[in-house]
A and B are shown apart, each in its own frame.
Chain A
């Protein structure tokens, strides 16, 4: 049905490419070609079926360059001890994350990895988190990013990184610690207005007593620390005498709760198309979430192909992470140390380094937060520096040098970098400016203006 609707509406190539920009880290020439060939719906389906997209070349390279990516908890602990460098795994995870965003063909999947990394935020700001977060990323977030929400929730509740960050490893019958249970309801599932009470927070904390960490990095249920008494959460009675199973049952209850569907879907809609998503979109997609028992792909399909979402204009301000990955994709520069260093320092200066948001709610996802003077200063400087320093290594800029006429050069670069186009006045201003420059300087200057300019900040 969706296919017919799309076929009827006959999305123009530029429109399909614009929409593809929303669900990727930027549409480079290769991606644009794929969108032209498949149409937007075909592109969405291809990206949803992510495990059939071959990313082995990238992943093999990452694994050979970044050894901690493949180590299990014991190997990692041993390695970090021997290297006496506790930040090493964190550094490698960060590098892998920046590279995957910019270079993985599984673009929508990487966007979802980022989404869940925000949703189940664990800041890496101490040596223990630095050793545990890479395991969570590899064993929980990445494998389940496109699976079922409940599986992700259950796995995350047992993940040592989360158990440590929100103190549940210390949550015992003698002394409950409610940090995890509060954020579980407020942030991970129901949402602040989702219908739970302070009493529910306390009762839920008792359910997760005894859920702890077996060093160096495994889940452990310790029966002697568990509160086996009767509990009441969200109006449900949990009989006494139950151990691990009652926490799992609560997670199922939360995952299936209608408030959770609305909360997760609102956040997904906010991530992919609007800061304040339309209520009818959220309701329809929440139905898909519920009907599919929290199947993330089906939920995404319902969201991304919803007519209101397809018709919505570009109104999401790119976050710095999307901007940075987008420039790298646009320039088509191969990854190397300088590229990573530049991406790192831009994200550091904009306050958007992966795994560094200090609070459990994850990085903000609305325009007013990211429309900051520091953020735009960094975008301007990055656009200028990266285009100026990379002309020899950017295939895009190399090709653009072949055009003798500046207007054609601008046309070519606009088509590659701002697929929805720019207005004629801006086009004229860029071309007039480029004409004042030495020929060899033109491609970089044009690209810098396009990357720094307003059209590239929206998606």
Chain B
């Protein structure tokens, strides 16, 4: 009786009924890179992460915060990397990291929340809202078949993924288990069948909790640093090695709003950023060639430091691209300079590369998007800057 009842209820919950074996596509088989979108929340200071030590005004503007030319990890005649970001330097030297400097929203937006919202939507600060995110619109244009294809490695889905019905929030692979017995879950699934708004979320929980099982068996990769980013990338690494069919992952890396004591607060973050990316590359092996990491923040910070040895909200910042498919080992973008007349609103690093230019090249060259209007609407990119290598067919 109980078994028959169970079977009957099971049919009401297709996701649970069959426990289908998903066909797990590796990144290569997708015909496009998988995207790892890392957002540095708080407004990361591009002038400290990637200091323009070849620009003399840098030292005038940052009397206490400037990193001396002798201390940076040198990149080219103009730029260096923060000395703690050794992991980034390694990637750069191997041609697998590019930095786009003086990059960001074309229209300055010094509110964290407005600037994050605009960049996640893939619009300029002056544009009307899309509501959905640029990653969400990208995903809606491609086939996303597996239950673990789109994941925010966090407790909630960021706006960048909004619009993608497939997006899961998974704070941790190991904690994504359901303790309820299957017969109870069947009744619960049937209950959610009557709620049009919540049904998809409940089904996604049931399906993902089932699908994540084999991934929890996979060991955590080596050398990941402690911290939010290290933990999230370690889980991304397990999903990739476990061939879970990951197409896009979003990761928040917070703590970059340094209105005071910036030097001390930046160092551990720069260390974690570099070490986590380096560990991730080692972890996923050849899949690195099918993976593109985009590191973005909402704005760069004020060119001049404040009296608290920190920096207030500014405009232009730096964006990072890492993966096998980036034409790296370069700092890309026209450097506007830091002399007074060149500054945005007289005090911030100007933006010479609209961040959407970078995303457009990514979408066109690595993510297989032919129709950029499906993501950006009316906005059109400038001629390609060649940030990425073309994907092998």
On A, residues with C-beta under 8 Å from B are 166-167, 170-172, 174-179, 182, 186, 192, 198, 201, 349-352, 358-361, 364, 367-377, 380-381, 384-385, 423, 425-426, 429-430, 432-433, 436, 445, 448-449, 452-454, 457
Contacts and interface: CB of A to CB of B under 8 A. Distances in A.
A177 B9 contact: no
B111 to A, nearest CB: 6
A198 B313 CA distance: 11
B29 interface: no
A370 B197 CA distance: 13
B183 A384 contact: no
Nearest to A379: B205
Contact of A436 (B5, B114, B168, B190): B5
B111 A375 contact: no
Interface string B150-167: 001011110000100000
30 contacts: A177-B306, A179-B257, A179-B259, A192-B111, A192-B113, A350-B155, A351-B155, A358-B255, A359-B112, A361-B112, A364-B156, A369-B156, A371-B197, A373-B170, A373-B208, A375-B169, A380-B205, A381-B178, A381-B180, A426-B190, A429-B187, A430-B191, A432-B5, A433-B183, A433-B187, A448-B184, A449-B188, A449-B191, A452-B180, A454-B202
Given A359-B42, A361-B113, A454-B194, A373 B188 contact: no
B112 to A, nearest CB: 6
B113 A370 contact: no
A169 to B, nearest CB: 9
B171 A349 contact: yes
B23 interface: no
B1 A436 contact: yes
Contacts of A201: 110
A340 B256 CA distance: 32
Tell me the dominant secondary structure on chain A's binding face: helix
Interface in B320-360: 345
Q: Which residue of A174, A186, A385 has the most chain B CB atoms within 10 A of its CB atom?
A: A186
A172 B155 contact: no
A167 B258 CA distance: 10
A425 to B, nearest CB: 7
A452 B184 CA distance: 10
A453 B113 CA distance: 33
A182 B179 contact: no
Interface residues of B, number: 56
Contacts of B9: 429, 433
B209 interface: yes
Contact of A433 (B114, B184, B209): B184
Contacts of A375: 155-156, 169
B146 to A, nearest CB: 15
A349 B111 contact: no
B306 A175 contact: yes
Nearest to A125: B255
A177 B198 contact: no
Contact of A377 (B110, B113, B178, B310): B178
Contacts of A430: 187, 191
Contacts of A359: 41-42, 112-113, 254, 257
Contacts of B171: 349, 351, 374
Contacts of A445: 184
Q: Which 10 A-B pairs have the closest CB atoms?
A: A175-B307, A351-B155, A454-B195, A372-B169, A170-B308, A179-B259, A167-B259, A453-B191, A373-B168, A374-B169
Contacts of A170: 259-260, 307-308
B63 to A, nearest CB: 11
Contact of A374 (B156, B180, B259, B310): B156
Contacts of A385: 179
B361 interface: no
Given A351-B156, A384-B179, A186 B308 contact: no
Nearest to A425: B194
Which of A364, A425, A430, A453: most chain B CB closer than 10 A?
A453
B110 A167 contact: no
A374 B170 CA distance: 5
B175 interface: yes
Interface in B112-135: 112-114
B275 interface: no
A150 B111 CA distance: 24
Given A167-B310, A384-B180, A433-B9, 4 more contacts: A175-B306, A376-B202, A436-B2, A449-B187
Contacts of B260: 167, 170, 177
B289 interface: no
B201 interface: yes
Contacts of B16: none
Contacts of B208: 373
Nearest to B305: A175
Contact of B194 (A172, A178, A368, A423): A423
Nearest to B169: A372
A350 B188 CA distance: 20
Contacts of A368: 157, 162
B198 A374 contact: no
A454 B203 CA distance: 12
Nearest to B8: A432
Nearest to B179: A381
A373 B204 contact: yes
A376 B155 CA distance: 10
Contacts of A351: 154-156, 171
A63 to B, nearest CB: 33
Given A167-B259, A170-B260, A198-B110, A358 B254 contact: yes
B227 to A, nearest CB: 13
A425 B112 CA distance: 47
A224 B93 CA distance: 51
Contacts of A432: 5
B198 A429 contact: no
Interface in B1-40: 1-2, 5, 9
A286 B307 CA distance: 39
Contacts of B188: 380, 449, 452-453
A367 B274 CA distance: 35
A340 B266 CA distance: 35
